[in-house]
Structures are given as structure tokens and as C-alpha cells.
Amino acid sequence: MSSELEHQDLVLVEATPEQARITNRNSYISWGYPLLTIDEYIEREEILANNEFTSENFKVWILVSKKCNLSNDTEPTIFSQCETYKLKALITLSFGQIQEVICYYITSLFTPPQYRHKGYATKLMELLNNKLRFECKAKFSYLYSEVGSDFYSRLGWRIFPHKEIRFKVDDRFSTSLKHSELIVAINQSNIETIINKDCEFIKKDLKKLNKKSMVILPTKPAFDWLFQKTKLYSKFYADTNDPRQFGAMISNKKNESINENEELFERFIIWNHDFRDNQLFIIRFRSDSPYTTRLLIQQAMQEASKFQFKQIILESGFEII
């Protein structure tokens, strides 16, 4: 079933919970094995699909035949599958003017081995693009590719270089720098305030750009989803206590309240623990000087050392592009 005529018999639909479970079974060997049992993998995926953020913003999409869809087949043949997350974003309209819009992050594109090289993934992405643009009213969608750029560029996605900086973790960073007493830990008690202030800075930064730009807005529910994922990974992969600190910021004086000085909001780092690959990801970073940068990176190094991680990765996530 691979001809263009036969592809016209295919439809892209949102998976039911039962069908989403089938997609997890499909992808287990590629993305769960051997570190997790299939039951652990399905448990992890179902927990992550049912929290505040994902309950409203997460969808599993499956490519099936129209006949199976019309017959309400609970276990249809799934030729290809993917997932999407709805996110808030900003785009520039003209110099100094910005608009808040909806965008979608596309991930977990998977075709079962027996259906590969038959055009099903291409068909899924074509149908998904139309759904996101016209039914979901998305201004744009984006993804990260592990298979190169040719496949997605042929389907209309523009290619942007992926930027990252990697730091090796070693014992030199266990010694505190001068002014380390000014560090304020970021945790559940203050992270929402920091995220909201960060969004204000992002809007100001975007208004200064005299070019077409877009940026993904960080939100508290999205961060909570990441941290919940971290806790699950600490359970499944590392058998260790889940992290309590999600970053650090620098105050001007010891024991200063975060509400007393707004400048400290421009000097912070937020990270996420990856217990599967033993590394720490920096997901938000603001600094106003080289020394501040060094001090914040040192905090990340100390956090990585605490869990015996081997490296820290600073990626271009949530970046203006």
C-alpha cells in the first residue's frame, strides 16, 4: 500500500487514549529499550501525557486508513505517528510591534519498521502541516531533526542551525568563587515569578529587533512538565532522589528578597536534569557580565557534580530566531 492512489485513502486523526498506548508500544524498542521495561515506558508516557500542561496542549497523531477511522476501529493499523505540543510564542509584525500567537512543537515522528520507505511519514507530515495551519490556527511549527534536514526541508520547513555549548564537569568547580554567598536558589517557591519576569524581558528584547523574528515563550506549566519528566527519569534511570533546585540567580546582597531588586532577574540560570544520559541542560540563561556568567556556570557545575553528571549543555532553546 504505497502508491499515490493508495495514500489518498489515508487520514490523519488524533489518537484516543487506547490508540496512544499502541503508539507507545510501537516506539518502545526504539526509544525505551533496554533501559526501561515496556510497562515502565508506557507508564512514563502516560504520566507525562496527563498533567496541567499536556492535558490541554499535547496531542498524539496517527496516520490510518479512512475505512478504519470511519468504522471506529479501536486498534487500527498505524502507518506512522507523531506528537505535538501547543505553545505560546511571539512574532514581530513591524519594528517595535509584536503579537502573541500559538505555535506547535512537533516531536516523536515514528514509522513502524514494516511501513518504512513507503512514503507514510511524508504523508503524515503533509497532512499535519495542513491541520496545524488551517484547523489549529498555528502561526508556525518547529521541530528538531535527528535524521538530517533534507526530509523536512523538502516538506516546507525552513532549516536553522542548532547551536549548543558543552562544558565538561570536573572537580575544579567544586570550589566556591568569591561572591557565591549572593547566590539565590531557584525552586518551586520562586520559579513562577522568574519565568513571568523573563517573559517581560523577552518582549523587550524582541521589540528592539528590526527584522522578522519569532520566539517561544517559557511558561510555568511547561517548566513543571519538564521537572516532572526529570523526577520520573530519576526514578526509572538513576534510582536517586529527585532534584529540588532548578537553577540559581544572583542577588546584590546576602539574603535579599527577590522582590526588592528587579535587576537580579537579569542574572539567572535555569537547568534541567537528564538522568538518562547523565547531563545537565541549561534551558534559560541571562547574564549581565562575564563574571556573572562564570558564577552562574559554576552553580550549574556544582549541580551536575552533585548527581555525577559528565557534562553540561547550553542549547538555543526558547531563542529568538
Domain at 263, CATH number: 3.40.630
Domain of residue 191: give its range: 164-315
Q: Which amino acid is at 245?
A: Q
Residues 84 and 119 in one domain: yes
Residues 301 and 176 in one domain: yes
Report how far apart the first and last C-alpha atoms of the chain are (Å, whole number): 40
Q: Which of 107, 90, 87 is nearest to 98 (CA)?
A: 90
Tally of CB atoms within 10 A around 92: 19
Q: What pairing do the DSSP bridges indicate for beta strands 311-315 and 279-286?
A: parallel
Q: How far apart are CA 310 and CA 166, in angstroms?
A: 10
Quick one: which H or E segment has residue 86? strand 80-94
Residues 143 and 193 in one domain: no
Residues 62 and 176 in one domain: no
Gyration radius of the chain over CA positions: 22
Residues 33 and 64 in one domain: yes
Residues 190 and 77 in one domain: no
3-state secondary structure of 129: helix
Q: How far apart are CA 241 and CA 262, in angstroms?
A: 33
| Cβ neighbours of residue 293 closer than 8 Å, sequence gap 6 or more | 287
H-type helices in 138-251, by residue range?
150-154, 191-207, 220-233
Residues 23 and 113 in one domain: yes
Place of cell 525552513: 158
Residues 231 and 133 in one domain: no
Residue 47's Cβ-count burial label (10 Å; 0-12, 13-18, 19+) is middle
How far are the Cα atoms of 3, 48, 319 from residue 286, in angstroms, in the given order?
A: 51, 28, 12
Tally of CB atoms within 10 A around 197: 17
Residue 163's Cβ-count burial label (10 Å; 0-12, 13-18, 19+) is exposed
Domain at 41, CATH number: 3.40.630.30
Residues 16 and 88 in one domain: yes
The pLDDT tens digits along the chain (321 residues) read 445 547 889 999 999 999 999 999 999 999 999 989 999 999 999 999 999 999 999 999 999 999 887 667 778 999 999 999 999 999 998 767 899 999 999 999 999 999 999 999 999 999 999 999 999 999 999 999 888 889 999 999 999 888 889 999 976 665 666 667 889 999 999 999 999 999 999 999 998 888 888 999 999 999 999 999 999 888 888 777 789 999 999 986 654 444 444 555 679 999 999 998 999 999 999 998 898 898 999 999 999 999 999 999 998 754 443
Cell numbers describing residue 289: 557580565
